[in-house]
Structure formats: C-alpha cells, structure tokens
Amino acid sequence: MKRYALRQLVQLTVVVVGISILSFAILHVIGDPVLLLLPQNAGKEEYERYHKLLGLDKPVYVQYWKFASRALQGDFGKSWYTDTPAFKLVIDRMPPTLYLTTAGLVAALLIALPLGILAALKRHSFVDNLCTMLAVAGQAMPIFWLGIMLIIIFAVRLKALPASGYGTWQHFLMPAFTLGAFLAPITMRLVRSGVIEIMNMDYIRTARAKGFGERKVVVKHAFRNACIPVITVLGLQFGQLLGGAIVTETVFAWPGVATLTVDSIRNQDFPVVQCAVVLLALIIVSVNFLVDIVVGLIDPRIRVA
C-alpha cells in the first residue's frame, strides 16, 4: 500500500508541475502581458518600463521559477482590475462552486442510481430501453441550453423558482438538476453494467441459495459491490463535473469561481484567471489522488496492477 500511495504521489507532483507550466504559458508564451496591460497609445519607453517591472526581460525559466515559488505561497499577484490579491478573490468565490458541485453530484446520483439498478434488474425491458434512450439524449444535451429551458419554464412561465442567484435552497434546485443531468447518463450506464455483472456472480447465487429475499440480495450483496467502479469513475470524472459546474454557473449567474473566471477573462484580468485555473486544477488533482487511495484500500487488486 505504501508503494502504491508513493507512486500516486509522484504522479500527482508531475501533474501539478505540468499544470503550473501550462497556466504560466497561457499568459507568458502565447500573449504579451505588457500589451494587454498598457493602453494602446502608450509609448515605447512606457512599454520598456513595464516590461522590466514585470520581470519579462529575464529568461523564461527564471520567470517561471518566480511564478511557481510565489504561487506555492498563495501569491498570484494582484488583480489588475480591483487591486486586491487574486488569491483572495478566488478563495472567496470557492464555497459556492463547491456547494454547487456537491449538489450536482447528489442530483446525479439520485437520478442515476435508481434508474441504473432498475434497468439492470429488468434487462431489455421497456424500462431498460427507456433508460438507455434517456442516457443517449442526456449525453447529447448542451447543458447550458437545458438550464435556459428550465429557467424559461420554471422561472418565467410558472414563476415557481428564482431564475438566478444564490442564497436559499430554491436557488439550488435548477442548477443542481442541470449539473446532475450532465453527469447522470454516464453514471447510470456504469451502475447498470456494474449491477448486471455482479448479479451473475457466484456469491449472488449463494445468497439466493441461502434463501435471502430478492430485496436483500440486491441491496446488500449486489449494490454494495457495484459501488466500487462507480466511486472510481465518479472520482476520475470530478474534473468533468467541475467543468460542468463552470457551464452551469454562467447560466444561472451563480457567484462561484467560474463566473469570476469568465468575468476576469472579459476584463483581461490575467492574475485572477491564472490563480483560478491553478486552484481548480489543484482541487481536481487532489480529489483524484484521494479516490485512487480510497479505491486502493477497498480493492486490493488495484494496488498490484
């Protein structure tokens, strides 16, 4: 187990370094930050001064080293727009994003678990076919459009829910469902195939032979074992989930990191963009690491491979 964890940790470090290079490159290699920062009519002298001020006259690796060592201390520079530290801006917006992600995950599970199990137990039935169709349609659905349709129906027509914003539990319903609809199709397929595979296992036959009721067989023996692949894949899909949360936030004007990032992109406020990208990536990587460890603990077969 120790070696397994160590291997995962090495991989984690490599990925984090890779991401920091990527977000450094976004600003420093592709674009010229000075041109973005200065007004268009600025003279050459002004340009040179800022060039030096930002340390752009030094070799790229020196610049990267400075960026990385500062970032490690949570210093991504000040926002070019509001003059507050970028790190604080991003951290302040983090809780709404995490709440939305959690709510979306819960919604996805509420949709996917019952449907997936039902589809697996009644294979090739009408219900199963219906679920498959729902999953295919769900995967093709642009969720930002789904969100807007929900707003038109439930907020504009029925006036039952708030169209956007943040605060009460009613505000959570539509965004959570939208994000859930994004993740539910793949989860449902996983649950279905997992349960189908397990229902053919010997221990299920044993449980049946012992005379357990069908409900006990399904819930205690089949479902619990089907959870392992679902947890793994959901953990690895966390990046996708966060990507979906970004989309959802912008539709419902949710005050999270994603709306901050999109606003900062519009304002060309790059320290904030960089900080948000790095922190989001860091969260994804840590979640993946934890999932790997937890799965390794649950299922010894994985550690060896």
Enumerate binding residues for another protein (CB under 8 A): 11, 14-15, 18-19, 22-23, 26-27, 30-31, 136-137, 139-142, 144-145, 148-149, 151-152, 156, 239-240, 242-243, 246-247, 250, 261-262, 265-266, 268, 270, 273, 277, 280-281, 284-285, 288
Query: Distance between alpha carbon 167 and the CA centroid of its chain, in Å?
Result: 22
Which string of DSSP letters, residue by residue, matches 218-255? IIIIIIHHHHHHHHHHHHHTHHHHHHHHHHHHHHHT--
Instruction: Choose between 140 and 305: whose C-beta lies nearer to another protein.
Output: 140
Instruction: Choose between 110 and 302: whose C-beta lies nearer to another protein.
Output: 302
Instruction: Choose between 33 and 296: whose C-beta lies nearer to another protein.
Output: 33
Query: Closest by alpha carbon to 100, among 152, 164, 160?
Result: 164
Q: How far is the CB of 26 from another protein (least distance, A)?
A: 5
The phi, psi pair for 188, rounded to 5°, reads -60, -40
Query: Distance between alpha carbon 190 and the CA centroid of its chain, in Å?
Result: 18
Return the residue matching tokens 């320290």: 271
Find residue 78's DSSP bridge partners: 85
Q: How far is the CB of 145 from another protein (least distance, A)?
A: 3
Q: How far is the CB of 208 from another protein (least distance, A)?
A: 30
Q: How far is the CB of 11 from another protein (least distance, A)?
A: 7
In contact, 270 and 80? CB cutoff 8 Å: yes
Instruction: Choose between 172 and 252: whose C-beta lies nearer to another protein.
Output: 252
In contact, 294 and 236? CB cutoff 8 Å: no
Q: How far is the CB of 191 from another protein (least distance, A)?
A: 18
Instruction: Choose between 110 and 247: whose C-beta lies nearer to another protein.
Output: 247
Instruction: Choose between 31 and 213: whose C-beta lies nearer to another protein.
Output: 31
Q: How far is the CB of 103 from another protein (least distance, A)?
A: 18
Q: What is the dihedral of CA 24, 27, 28, 30, to 10 degrees?
A: 120
Cα–Cα distance between 155 and 172 in angstroms, integer? Answer: 13
